[in-house]
Every structure is written in structure tokens, then in C-alpha cells.
Amino acid sequence: MRQIWIAACLAASLLVGQAIAADRTQKAETAESKAEVLEQSAAAEGSKARPSPSEIITKPEAQAVDPVGKELLDDAITCLSRTIYWETRGDGAAGMEAIANVVINRLGHEGFPNTICEVVRQGREQGACQFSWWCDGRSDDAEEDESYAIAKEIARKALNRQLTDRTGGALYFHQRKVTPSWSANYIKTVGIGEHVFYKPHGGEAK
């Protein structure tokens, strides 16, 4: 009798686990589909375009995407989350949101790609990545679950147009400890956390 009870418990646990996994997969697929629509809208209409209620990505949906930070970088939420995570890990919510703002701002400007993943990867073919973490030769897997969960939540809000643009329309940034030569050609908008942000004269990307 005890063996039967144990077997029944194991079977029930297996079914519950399968149901949870299926639910997470469904939520992730839904979030990825919505994110694709939202980034296309941003690229076509600029960063002020507001999503319809049916397009809004929910928190459970966003958190179901890449739950442990080790999936391939092939969807908007993962690419944006990893960028926020690696560029500003430990820099506080304001700094993380500012990096998200830059990525979203680039989608609405000529001179940048039309998807978040392409924005993040831009420049690698010339050996000069726009986002340094992408071509530093190290693993891109997230290492801190809590920080990565925060990054995904900020990515979700950025895609939903629920973030205030803290950067004043910035398209570029650099760490405070360096002063790259290109910064003299742009207008400084703000300093947030460990980064300084810039936009082009006239607001046009170059």
C-alpha cells in the first residue's frame, strides 16, 4: 500500500511539473509574440507609440521568458534584459531604466536596426560593439537571479511604454570613468548612476 501511495505521489508531482512547464512555455511564447509587435511599432512610429491593452506584456509573461538567464539571445525580451543586466548590474533601478531607454530610443531612429536584438548586436561585424558586453569574449549568461529578474521587469515596462525616458531622448552613453572622443560631437543630456547620456544635435542619429 505504501509503495502504491508513493508511486501515486510521484505521478501527481510529475503531472503538476509538466503542467507548470507547459504554462510557462505558453506565457513565454505569448510574451515573445507581443514583444515582436511592440518593437515593430516602436521602429515604425517612434518611442512614443502606445500599445493597445491586448499587446501589453504582463509580468508573469515576461518572467517566463529565459527564466534562468541562459537561453539564446533571439527574442526582444531576452536581448533587452541581458543588455540592462550586463550594462548596469548593481547600478540601481534608475540606471537600469536609462539603458533600456537608450535601446528603445534607437528603435525609432534612422541609422539603427529595427529590432532590439539587432540594436544590441550592432557593430560586432566591425569589431566595435555598441554595447560592450556583447563582444567582450565572456559568457552572456546571467549570473544573479534577482538582478536578472529586475532587468526583465524593466525590459517588460520598456516594451510596454511604461517607463519615463530618464535620458532626455539619448541615443548614446558611456561610463563615467572614461571620456570617449565621440562624446564631443553630441549633446550631453544627463548623468545617471555610472553612465553619462547623449543625443545628437538636431535629434538625428548618426
Q: If we measure between CA atoms, which residue out of 106, 123, 111, 110 comes closest to residue 158?
A: 106
Q: CA gyration radius for the chain?
A: 20
CA distances from 79 to 39, 85, 103, 129 (A): 12, 10, 10, 14
Q: If we measure between CA atoms, which residue out of 51, 150, 58 comes closest to residue 104?
A: 51
What is the rounded distance in angstroms from the CA atom of residue 34 to the CA atom of residue 60? 13
Question: What pLDDT is stored for residue 84 in this prediction?
Answer: 96
Q: If we measure between CA atoms, which residue out of 121, 145, 119, 144 comes closest to residue 205?
A: 119
Question: What pLDDT is stored for residue 19 in this prediction?
Answer: 56
Q: What is the pLDDT of residues 19-63, one digit of tens each?
A: 566 888 999 999 999 999 999 998 888 767 788 899 999 999 999
Name the burial class of residue 44, with classes exposed (0-12), middle (13-18) and buried (19+) by CB atoms within 10 angstroms of its CB.
exposed
Helix 92-107 × helix 145-159 angle, to 10°:
40
Name the phi and psi angles at 198, rounded to 5: -140, 155
Q: What is the pLDDT of residues 141-171, one digit of tens each?
A: 999 999 999 999 999 999 999 999 999 999 9
Q: What is the pLDDT of residues 99-133, one digit of tens each?
A: 999 999 999 888 899 999 999 998 766 667 888 88
pLDDT range class, residue 80, cuts 50, 70, 90: very high
Contacts of 3 (CB under 8 A, 6+ apart): none
Contacts of 202 (CB under 8 A, 6+ apart): none
Report, as an integer, the average pLDDT of 85-90: 88
Question: What pLDDT is stored for residue 124 in this prediction?
Answer: 67
Report, as an integer, the average pLDDT of 74-99: 93
What is the rounded distance in angstroms from the CA atom of residue 16 to the CA atom of residue 165? 42
CB 138 within 8 A of CB 158: no
Question: What pLDDT is stored for residue 206 in this prediction?
Answer: 52
